[in-house]
Structure 1
């Protein structure tokens, strides 16, 4: 079928060619069994591969056992993790799509009483001993809040956790890796002067605060070559990070420029979608991420994320402002989202928000694999 729609044109991304420019964003879905992938998870990913997604980015996978707020989040730490994800990546490839792994570390957003954190035998780490405000953990009673982290003495310890997970992800058959540098997780904690008050080579200047992210990107390129992405949310706010506008612009323009020079396949930018209030204070930094950062990206592809409709995405790609779009929530209720766009069938479902994260004892397929495709 020949089409002139911009979103349906192929896209060279690193060493692979995507069949279209509609990518599925990483989304936490909490369906693992004790951090290991399952057959149900394979079905979920295959449904969306069969539905025409040009690229699927896995749910956020932690690089080590951490006490995250998601009790059933996946981890990439041992050979059983590798084998389980290999089943999924093979199935996605057979269904006609590509799949990147998203790897991240929650840093100070972990909790010492969470089961996985206890199993790790490690404290909750952050760049500095500065606690994030807020914090609710689904496996802990009440609202315990975030704790003051232990300032990591040597950040190379954490970078090495990323290196090990990246190597395992390659063995698991992923086509590339997206480094999670968004939503107030560990990388933004190093980037942000409100969570990083270090006075060594990892803090202070823009160059020092971006060093942690760039060293992880370098490690990823050594394993995956060109097939590396970096996801960033410069408008901030989530999980109590966010700097004044000028500092934000200086930090992220330098970071995207340096990552681009290293040869990443893409930079995924999460745009400003509204205020993020924490303890009565809006932590977001409103600004146009396309206008602010795309001029600093010379070689990498630009993928935009953040409440984007297919119609808006078509306009943005057709105008050359971005190369592709990343969609999250709509892919939950519409596994055939890309095929619907191709056939001009509207997105007519709303995700069941009560079941995005399953309740204890609930049928895990509900709100997950029970959305039936209407376009083959």
Structure 2
């Protein structure tokens, strides 16, 4: 595993290895405030050898997410909570980015934070996503028809403020969540974006929101800005025909390559993230590395999606990727980086009953209590 354990210049910082910890929603904040159990969770994994940690999706404003107790980064108390986490991670020698996140049409007006926000569910177009189950709303309420965003620059300004707050909290950079059917992805996909103004219609117009948001994040963070994309779609009712998908993401990545980002993460097709709607899968399975890496000649590519250690080494050693992001194995193995380096088995199975916590249950269960290997 020699290639995985070489340092890498990532924007303005150097990460100690190429094994990143992917953004993983865990529902452990105190309402929307990062807390002590979260600090312990991130510190464990920094000590365990994560070269770069990307936080769980962090909300830029109050939204009716299906994930209760997801953290935010729009107020002072949240900034202070995150500062304790970034300080702990930095003390280990690891680096940490904030993944900044807006749900768009997959919020719900009856979710507590959306009620507190006092605003409608916003999206590029007034088109409801299929599906929709919320952990704090009884039954399967489904998604609602959202209110079309009149002026998308208002949301771009919210992303910029989130980056300003992330910098105050001590994050090394920000990753724009452009994947999995959330707001940025909704602008990109022609099935969720039917606008006829400069923010919709053509490939160039549908890519405008992502590109303009990245440019305003660069105003705050310089080269320490990244984006996560899932071209194969599926999750949250996303997916265009294959050629349109390649044309859309090819154009987007060609333009992103001009911006000098620290990295782009491409999420590979995963059938687990491609639910059926009306008896049919929604996503478009294709090799995202093969299809899009040529558009990123000057931008580091990280690969995400069921990447095993041996494949990670092969991707990095052959130059197909600068690094990888791993998800579930970082949940179940707080010492994942150390295990990979020492050739230890990855033998902790996830406990799905505690994965996202539950009211009245010790938040450490299935979160900070996974066993480390004996070295």
Whole-Å separation in 1 of the counterparts to 2:268 and 2:332: 22
Whole-Å separation in 2 of the counterparts to 1:312 and 1:354: 29
Whole-Å separation in 1 of the counterparts to 2:300 and 2:28: 31
Q: Contact between 1:63 and 1:75, CA under 8 Å: does it hold in 2?
A: yes
Counterpart residue number, 2:308: 309
Deviations along 1:245-287, one digit per CA (max 9) or x if unpaired, are 0000000011111111011110000011225322322111111
Deviations along 1:173-225, one digit per CA (max 9) or x if unpaired, are 00000000000000110000000000000000001000000111011111111
Q: Contact between 2:89 and 2:95, CA under 8 Å: does it hold in 1?
A: yes
Whole-Å separation in 2 of the counterparts to 1:123 and 1:263: 35
Q: Does 1:215 align with 2:223?
A: no
Q: Does 1:135 align with 2:132?
A: yes
Counterpart residue number, 1:254: 251
Whole-Å separation in 2 of the counterparts to 1:220 and 1:166: 6
Q: Contact between 1:178 and 1:228, CA under 8 Å: does it hold in 2?
A: yes
Unpaired segments of 5 or more residues in structure 1?
A: none
Q: Does 1:364 align with 2:358?
A: no
Counterpart residue number, 2:352: 353
**SS state at 1:353 partner:** coil
Q: Does 1:263 align with 2:254?
A: no
Q: Does 1:156 align with 2:169?
A: no
**Residue 117 of structure 1: which of 107, 114, 121 is its match?**
114
Counterpart residue number, 2:61: 64
Whole-Å separation in 1 of the counterparts to 2:41 and 2:184: 28
Give TM-score, length-normalised by structure 2: 0.98
Counterpart residue number, 2:283: 284
Q: Return closer, same or farther for 1:243/1:234 CA change in 2, 3 Å cut-off.
A: same
CA RMSD of aligned residues (A): 1.0
Unpaired segments of 5 or more residues in structure 2?
A: none
**Residue 75 of structure 1: which of 69, 72, 75 is its match?**
72
Q: Contact between 1:131 and 1:148, CA under 8 Å: does it hold in 2?
A: yes
Whole-Å separation in 1 of the counterparts to 2:10 and 2:238: 30
**SS state at 1:304 partner:** strand
1:1-376 matches, cutoff 5 A: 5-274=2-271, 275-374=274-373
Whole-Å separation in 1 of the counterparts to 2:325 and 2:276: 24
Q: Contact between 1:132 and 1:240, CA under 8 Å: does it hold in 2?
A: yes
Whole-Å separation in 2 of the counterparts to 1:79 and 1:209: 33
Whole-Å separation in 2 of the counterparts to 1:310 and 1:295: 24
Deviations along 1:299-334, one digit per CA (max 9) or x if unpaired, are 111000001101111111111111101000000110
Q: Return closer, same or farther for 1:99/1:375 CA change in 2, 3 Å cut-off.
A: farther
- Name the count of aligned residue pairs: 373
